[in-house]
Structure 1
């Protein structure tokens, strides 16, 4: 049983909806997404990533298979790199569910067919390795393996394996890419979000957002705090978090929450503290202004919480990582190229 499916079993068995409503809702949503995928095939690129079973049955060179397996292992158990490249409680698969294969959970194969490309976050053209490096610096609150290292090659190979058969630079939108956010009927509410979080999320992620652990190893990640992603991670943006929640949560019950609930929970979660953005200049207002146009204009970083006056991100807490600076952050590229 895969890690993803094991998590579904745990989530459903922990919930009051497990035996009846939860399972039928999961089946109904899965069926609805199958129909949606069939309809999308008319004008979108719909790709079914190969599985690890497909890898074993393939004619790829045995040495390449070993590297792809290692990439899969790193992707689903990134905690094995804890203290070297990872300094929080996350795995790659914490956000990219189903081994990075699930639509609307930011499946990772699109990166392999759309990169190199310009990325607004760092204002230059990124390749696949640089995109993965960004996940280490922000989502893993760490510092990435070097370009061309065994770990980086293995993770890249796994991404590319999942993209097997998909065209490079497709001329149609990619079905299921990213975390598409639902409509926002009303302005998100902290109070509504807290209530909805406690009702729908705390059973797995704890009331204080610290995550769920078994035998010292985490089963469900921390949505905030030192064990979570830092302020520079994409999911720290309220819209992105709302999309992730709506499309994927509670685990095994995608799209079971209303759009408003997803926005409210996202607003509540992203109103909590987490490790500092590694691009921090030493002043939260300055950092928020500097990276506002390319990132923080969609996060709550530097904003004041209404209920207690706390300024989010106004601290020098970098979590377990301490003062280690990710080597890839703030590294410009192609500055010598002309505008022509």
Structure 2
């Protein structure tokens, strides 16, 4: 019996030590508009799509600035390497390090409303929340639970040297000002990068590392400008993320279990 018991222990230890299976990778493929069903479900999906692409217009009671969900989740949440929503339905519930707890899709959506849109949380029973949930569900309908969508998030970006906001200011004038303006306020179609109409200190995009990864993957070389190097993306992000922007009072509750990133603005 002793030998058998020890064998079970060894077997158990071996099972613990084994690496977990890697998730199946699937291509990012958003469903066609024609697949939106008729009836109440389709109406909810279309409402969520409208809120996603023009948040100030379709969720004015909860929007606090000029940004929409699609300001960061490009192409209505369908673009690779721009935090796409395709497949996100199968990811939640998940652990949220900034909150220090397991969170739901509703928690994540409201985190964006509070931080990126400097607004108010959506009531979980509201038509706006139901619409956004329906839209994410529809975008994710063909992605199996547990699968990893290729192009999810922004590829991590390494800089060769510490980010320099002074160099970034010159890069901004060369590569960004044509769209975002000298004052960073953008236009009716271009989101502001700083100031009271932009994201607050608690937003993920306020971190230089997050902004640099997004800029390199999605903004580099636009408008006929030269593509940015990784270092230039870091430098220009260090410049615009440290411009004046709204505070986030709830920041005192962030990272309750530790692990706050070094480039957090607070």
Give the TM-score range, shorter chain. Answer: 0.7 to 0.9
Q: 2:263 aligns with which of 298, 302, 311?
A: 298
Give the Cα separation in 2 of the matches to 1:254 and 1:136. 32
1:209-288 → structure 2 map (5 Å cutoff) = 209-212=184-187, 218-250=188-220, 251=222, 256-281=227-252
Q: Is residue 195 from structure 1 mapped to residue 160 from structure 2 by the alignment?
A: no
1:168 corresponds, among 145, 151, 157, to: 145
Partner of residue 50, structure 1: 31
Question: Which residue of 2 is the match for residue 153 of structure 1?
Answer: 130
Report the Cα distance in structure 2 between the residues aligned to 1:254 and 1:76, rounded to whole angstroms.
26
Instruction: Give the secondary-structure state (helix, strand or coil) at the position aligned to 1:73.
Output: helix
**Mapped partners of 2:142, 2:105: distance in 1:** 17
Q: CA deviation at 1:110?
A: 3.3
| Contact 1:205 1:211 (C-alpha < 8 Å) held by counterparts | yes
- Quick one: structure 1 residues 280 and 122, their matched pair in 2 at CA, closer, same or farther if it must change by over 3 Å? closer
| Helix, strand or coil at the partner of 1:297 | coil
Residue 111 of structure 1 deviates from its aligned partner by 2.4
Written as runs of structure 1 = structure 2, the 5 A alignment for 1:20-31 is none
1:34 maps to: none
TM-score scaled by structure 1? Answer: 0.66
Q: 1:279 to 1:163 in 2, by over 3 A?
A: same
- 2:81·2:217 contact (CA, 8 Å) conserved in 1? yes
Matched, 1:206 2:206: no
Deviations, residues 36-80 of structure 1 (Å, cap 9, x unaligned): xxxxxxx7322301132332xxxx342211110111011001011
Distance 1:235 1:83 in 2: 22
Paired position in structure 1 for 2:96: 119
Between the aligned partners of 1:277 and 1:101, the Cα distance in structure 2 is 28
Measure the CA separation in 1 of the matches of 2:183 and 2:82.
24
* Matched-pair contact (CA < 8 Å) for 1:181–1:246: no
Matches within 5 A, 1:51-90: 51-55=32-36, 60-81=37-58, 83-90=60-67
Q: How many angstroms does 1:252 deviate by?
A: 7.1
Q: How far is the alpha carbon of 1:201 from its aligned partner?
A: 0.5
Unaligned runs of 5+ in 2: 1-23
* Secondary structure in 1 matching 2:189: strand
Give the corresponding residue for 2:158.
183
Specify the SS of the correspondent of 1:164: coil
Question: Structure 1 stretches of 5 or more lacking a match?
Answer: 1-42, 213-217, 282-286, 303-340
Structure of larger gyration radius: 2
CA RMSD of aligned residues (A): 2.4
**Residue 249 of structure 1 contacts residue 255 of structure 1 at CA under 8 Å; is this kept in 2?**
no
Question: For residues 41 and 84 of structure 2, what CA distance do their matches in structure 1 show?
Answer: 22
**What is the aligned residue count?**
243
Instruction: Please list the CA deviations of residues 140-183 of structure 1 after superposition, one character each: whole Å capped at 9, or x if unmatched.
Output: 0001210021100100100110011101122xx43111122322
- Name 1:140's counterpart in structure 2: 117
CA contact (8 A) 1:205 1:221 kept: yes
Aligned partner of 2:17 in structure 1 is none
Superposition misfits of 4+ residues, deviation over 6 angstroms: 252-255
